[in-house]
Structure 1
Amino acid sequence: MNFRCLRTNMDFFTAALSGSQVYVVSPLNEDVFEIVDYGGKVEKFTPKSVKIAGSYYFRSQFEFRVDVKKDSAGM
């Protein structure tokens, strides 16, 4: 799977505006990760959290990914 990690406020802003499908991931180590939520669109974000599909996630505990092949916005 080819993906891009959302890290900055601008990344989240762009994903929210474009309506990109965002996956919530918990990295276990460098090569292994667990998908926490297949996600949805970014509804709200702050420096500490992101609201996706009605649920809040701490930015410090999870990775937020966009599938590059499916993302038509070219993030």
Structure 2
Amino acid sequence: MGQGIVHRTVKVPPAGSQVFISPAAGVHGQGSFWGLLVSSTDGLVDDHAYLRVCRIEDVDGDATVRTFYCQLSGLLVKDAE
């Protein structure tokens, strides 16, 4: 994955974006990591979404896609190029 501008978001990022999964985004017990956004669904409340993500380091191998319920205002995003 190449370089990109990292920013916070208030809307669901497009598929193909890199997202930083962390406790700041409301995801606890998973550590912090950059993941590739596969797909997303709006959350039940404003400023939240369900994100289907695979770890960046697993993209070229046997990637496992996991779903996380994230708070968008705490999510860092690196846009798709």
Compute the TM-score of the two structures, normalised by the length of structure 1.
0.49
Higher relative strand content: 1
